[in-house]
A and B are shown apart, each in its own frame.
Chain A
Amino acid sequence: MDALFLSRIQFAVTTLFHILFPVLTIGLSFYLVVIEFLWLKTRQELYYRIYRFWARIFAINFGVGVVSGVVLEFEFGTNFSQFSQMVANVFSPLLAFEVMTAFFLEAGFLGIMLFGWQRVSKGIHFLATCLVALGSILSAFWILAANSWMHTPAGYELVNGKFMVRDFMAAIFNPSTLTRVGHMVMASFETSSFVVAGISAYYLLKGKYVDFARRSLGIALVMAGFFAPLQIFLGDRSGIGVFHHQPAKLAAMEAHWETNTAGGAPFAIIAIPSSKEEKNLFEISIPNGLSLLVTHTLNGRVQGLKEFPREDRPSVFALFWSFRVMVAVGFILLLVMAWAVLLWRQGKLYHHRLFLSTLLIVHPLGFLATEFGWVTTEVGRQPWIVYNLVRTAEGVSPIPAGNVLWSLGLFLIILPVVGAVYFFYVLKTLQGGPDLSSPIPPVQRPIGMESLAQAKRRTGEE
């Protein structure tokens, strides 16, 4: 085990841990913007309660996201210093802009959003919520622009092994930036909508906080109804981008070995690819499927993996399956939404126990898809750290393996502990349920508003 291998594992471990949290931060912050807007517009107390409840989940999630994210910004230097020195002129401004425009914005207004209820006006509070959401999306934009540049480098000139800037706009908006930003932000929206929906469904199944849960669920499902199909569309755009810019990666994702000369390339639904024998030991496929998918024609030519030298190929097995897990989740969530639309038209959405149970079961799947999506895209970039230009092995820091073994060992202890405690406290918060009774801050309360508790007493319901 050398420093390169260990550094790659460490970057993978810390990234896969970190990304779970921004996914929910981005999506929930957007959900909270919608909820606070509804609260200010309708003045229905329920919206205020929904906001406060989900903001608690948001806060604990944000905290873990921040501390695990700082790690990544450091690892470029500690573990991949040669990469950093080679690409800095083009790459590092994107990270600097992320801090300037996104991190400061989120951090600056998070305090007001969480703790400022008594201290600022309604408008300022809503503005804070919006700016935190904007910050989270800007952060996704910059970090994905940087990551996309590693996949589809542009706007540079190579001088003595160093990247020099030619055109910053071309580097920022490199060929894959916009599709990948869209795909990731949509993943966050979709995942978060299903998290809110699944937890609300749980309350409905238990018969607890029924009004609260119905409203939370309704809004989440409306959002998920847009996001689920849109995500499949964006995923398709991403796939076509990979086909054009990273053909070896696409061939590996699809376990497509031979370039199709006569007729279309088949799409393997399942396969057992073998890198050693350069073929699939077993496969079930749809004829012409792959050609149709990436070229949108029946017989379009798709380069096979054998056209690329062995040392330039990523791991086929890992790519093929991680990609399929991600796609499968996308379609499962789409089907659940189709079912939701059907039930909604029949007016049975909130009572159908099987549907609510299904929501509860599928609600964490978005996280799974996000993890496997990142495995697909990053394993697919190998063996390059800057696609087709710099090998990952050339980017690693000149440090002994012992350093990385030590830090990786500690990360493998600390991150699971932090993750487990996070999970435990989130479950505890969910068990405790929303706070439906504590007084609304005076600045937020409309004059003469009847509280939920008073309304209950008046109507005499339980």
Chain B
Amino acid sequence: MDLATLWACLLGLVFIFYVVLDGFSLGVGLLFPSARDEEERDLLLNTIAPVWDANQTWLVFGGGTLFAAFPMVYGILFPALYIPLVTLLFGLIFRGVTFEFRAHATRKQPWNRAFFLGSLVAVVSQGLALGGVISGTTVVEGRFAGGPFDWLNLFSIGVGMALVAGYILLGSTYLIIKTTGAVQQRAYRQAFGSAIVVLGFQVLVTILTPLHYPTVLAYWLNPPRIYFIWIFPLMGLVAFYGLMRSLKNRREILPFVCTVILFLAGYLGLIASLYPHAVPPTVTFKEAAAQRETLRLVLWGAVIVLPVVLGYTIYSYSVFRGKVSAEQYYH
């Protein structure tokens, strides 16, 4: 495997880490309005307070690795997605400051709202950006050459809505692990409802994508993809079945695991349909890759540092493992 391909895999890994980790943090934000009183809201915030910052860092790392490994992709997509990306930042600002600001506030209501809206804006703009990338970008001589609203279409709006449902599913299955009693029972119901919506969207996307993009259909029906592309929808269906059963049996950890597999199925299916394109429909990962020396240096850095990062991330999660109690994180 050459360096560019290796980096494409690594980048894929970084983004799925982000989607799962910040996905459940943002999902808890989306579920915030369903909490009945301030005590429950405290509880919800406490489930993610020690980890949300580390989770969000994977997004910054995703941006950083994209810049380092595929500067052309970074240089084309960021101006192309200017509006959704800056909107994402605005959402993340309000989501992020709420943890501290709400703790200090006498009137919690404005920050309750900011936390929910910040999370919602962040999730929807991520979906719009992703939908925009899939819909295609106008590129001339290695530079973005389209208009400011090229990313906006029915498909990207659909992806935005799908992501809301997906992150609610991640958030609620995470809450099942971290909470007990009434909050946990509600999370079971929320997970059940959002899972059905997620499945609906995944089926819809799987049917619409080839109709909308004939190239993708041609990809699917020809070797080598025809040999394995069907694995991903199958994997999704199995994960969905597992999710439903584990929710019904009131299992605590399994629903989250199944949700991650469900996400992985959709994610891998998407990558398999687009690869080798980094900026559909024209630029490939190989064309967009940085100089060999750069790829090699950052790869060495990642090989040495990332295992350590993963190690202390797991340690940090283990420190805060178990059910969230009424223990006051904020004073």
Q: Which residues of A contact B (CB under 8 A)?
A: 56, 59-60, 63-64, 66-68, 70-71, 73-74, 76-79, 81-82, 84-85, 88-90, 92-93, 95-101, 103-112, 114-116, 118-120, 164-165, 168, 397-400, 402-403, 406-407, 410, 414, 418, 421-422, 425, 428-429, 435, 438
Point out the residues of chain B lying under 8 angstroms from A425, CB to CB.
100-101, 104-105
Point out the residues of chain B lying under 8 angstroms from A95, CB to CB.
64, 67-68
Point out the residues of chain A lying under 8 angstroms from B136, CB to CB.
none
Point out the residues of chain A lying under 8 angstroms from B51, CB to CB.
111
CB A6 to nearest CB in B, in angstroms, measures 12
Contact A88 B90 (CB under 8 A): no
Point out the residues of chain A lying under 8 angstroms from B291, CB to CB.
89, 164-165
Interface pairs (15), CB distance under 8 Å:
A59-B100, A60-B100, A70-B56, A70-B89, A81-B144, A88-B74, A93-B298, A96-B67, A104-B313, A105-B312, A108-B309, A399-B82, A406-B83, A414-B93, A425-B105
Point out the residues of chain A lying under 8 angstroms from B107, CB to CB.
none
CB A338 to nearest CB in B, in angstroms, measures 37
Point out the residues of chain B lying under 8 angstroms from A407, CB to CB.
82-83, 86
Point out the residues of chain A lying under 8 angstroms from B223, CB to CB.
none
Point out the residues of chain A lying under 8 angstroms from B49, CB to CB.
111, 115
Contact A402 B148 (CB under 8 A): yes
List B152-190 residues whose CB lies under 8 Å from chain A: none
Given that A78-B82, A85-B142 are known contacts, is A70 also in contact with B53, CB under 8 Å in the complex?
A: no
**Could you say which of A97, A110, A398, A403 contacts B145, with CB atoms under 8 Å apart?**
A398
B302-331: CB near A (< 8 Å → 1, else 0) gives 100110010011001001100000010101
B70-107: CB near A (< 8 Å → 1, else 0) gives 01101111110111011001101100110111001100
CB B76 to nearest CB in A, in angstroms, measures 7
A71 to B63, CA, bound (A): 11
Point out the residues of chain B lying under 8 angstroms from A67, CB to CB.
92-93, 96-97
Q: Which residues of B contact A (CB under 8 A)?
A: 49-51, 53-54, 56-57, 59-61, 63-65, 67-68, 71-72, 74-79, 81-83, 85-86, 89-90, 92-93, 96-97, 99-101, 104-105, 142-145, 147-148, 290-291, 293-294, 297-298, 301-302, 305-306, 309, 312-313, 316, 319-320, 327, 329, 331
**Could you say which of A84, A119, A438 contacts B74, with CB atoms under 8 Å apart?**
A84
**Could you say which of B78, B79, B105, B294 contacts A88, with CB atoms under 8 Å apart?**
B294
The 4 A-B pairs at the shortest CB distance, nearest first, are namely: A77-B78, A111-B50, A88-B71, A85-B75
Contact A82 B143 (CB under 8 A): yes
Point out the residues of chain B lying under 8 angstroms from A81, CB to CB.
74-76, 78-79, 143-144
Contact A96 B105 (CB under 8 A): no
Contact A111 B53 (CB under 8 A): yes
Q: Which residue of A lies closest to B143 (CB)?
A: A398
Known contacts A84-B74, A93-B301, A107-B54; 13 additional CB pairs below 8 A are: A63-B97, A63-B99, A70-B59, A74-B85, A74-B86, A88-B294, A92-B64, A92-B294, A95-B64, A95-B67, A99-B60, A119-B319, A400-B148
A190 to B27, CA, bound (A): 41
Point out the residues of chain A lying under 8 angstroms from B145, CB to CB.
398
Given that A74-B89, A398-B144 are known contacts, is A111 also in contact with B316, CB under 8 Å in the complex?
A: yes
Among A64, A68, A84, A85, residue most surrounded by chain B Cβ atoms (within 10 Å) = A85
CB A321 to nearest CB in B, in angstroms, measures 32
Point out the residues of chain B lying under 8 angstroms from A100, CB to CB.
61, 301-302, 305-306, 309
Given that A70-B59, A115-B49 are known contacts, is A399 also in contact with B92, CB under 8 Å in the complex?
A: no
Point out the residues of chain B lying under 8 angstroms from A74, CB to CB.
63, 78, 85-86, 89
Contact A63 B100 (CB under 8 A): yes
A406 to B93, CA, bound (A): 17
Point out the residues of chain A lying under 8 angstroms from B89, CB to CB.
70-71, 74
CB A442 to nearest CB in B, in angstroms, measures 14
Contact B327 A118 (CB under 8 A): yes
Among B61, B77, B97, B143, residue most surrounded by chain A Cβ atoms (within 10 Å) = B97
Q: Which residue of A lies closest to B74 (CB)?
A: A77
Point out the residues of chain A lying under 8 angstroms from B327, CB to CB.
118
A274 to B167, CA, bound (A): 58
CB A327 to nearest CB in B, in angstroms, measures 34
Contact B71 A92 (CB under 8 A): yes
CB A154 to nearest CB in B, in angstroms, measures 15
Point out the residues of chain B lying under 8 angstroms from A97, CB to CB.
298, 301
A111 to B298, CA, bound (A): 27
Contact B90 A414 (CB under 8 A): yes
A346 to B320, CA, bound (A): 50
Contact B101 A96 (CB under 8 A): no
Among A56, A70, A402, residue most surrounded by chain B Cβ atoms (within 10 Å) = A70
Given that A66-B96, A111-B54 are known contacts, is A165 also in contact with B301, CB under 8 Å in the complex?
A: no
Q: Which residue of B lies closest to A10 (CB)?
A: B86
A397 to B305, CA, bound (A): 32
CB A435 to nearest CB in B, in angstroms, measures 7
Contact B144 A78 (CB under 8 A): no
A457 to B212, CA, bound (A): 78
Contact B100 A93 (CB under 8 A): no
Point out the residues of chain B lying under 8 angstroms from A68, CB to CB.
93
**Could you say which of B67, B92, B144 contacts A70, with CB atoms under 8 Å apart?**
B92
CB B148 to nearest CB in A, in angstroms, measures 5
Among B82, B148, B309, residue most surrounded by chain A Cβ atoms (within 10 Å) = B82
Q: Which residue of B lies closest to A418 (CB)?
A: B97
CB B279 to nearest CB in A, in angstroms, measures 13
Contact B316 A108 (CB under 8 A): yes
CB B126 to nearest CB in A, in angstroms, measures 13
A118 to B320, CA, bound (A): 10
A77 to B72, CA, bound (A): 10
Point out the residues of chain A lying under 8 angstroms from B81, CB to CB.
78
A107 to B104, CA, bound (A): 21
Contact B320 A119 (CB under 8 A): yes
Contact A73 B75 (CB under 8 A): no
CB A48 to nearest CB in B, in angstroms, measures 14
**Could you say which of A84, A105, A106, A108 contacts B67, with CB atoms under 8 Å apart?**
A84
Point out the residues of chain B lying under 8 angstroms from A402, CB to CB.
148
Contact A112 B96 (CB under 8 A): no
CB B315 to nearest CB in A, in angstroms, measures 8
Contact A93 B297 (CB under 8 A): yes
A59 to B104, CA, bound (A): 11
Point out the residues of chain A lying under 8 angstroms from B101, CB to CB.
60, 63, 421-422, 425
A403 to B93, CA, bound (A): 19
Contact B320 A115 (CB under 8 A): yes
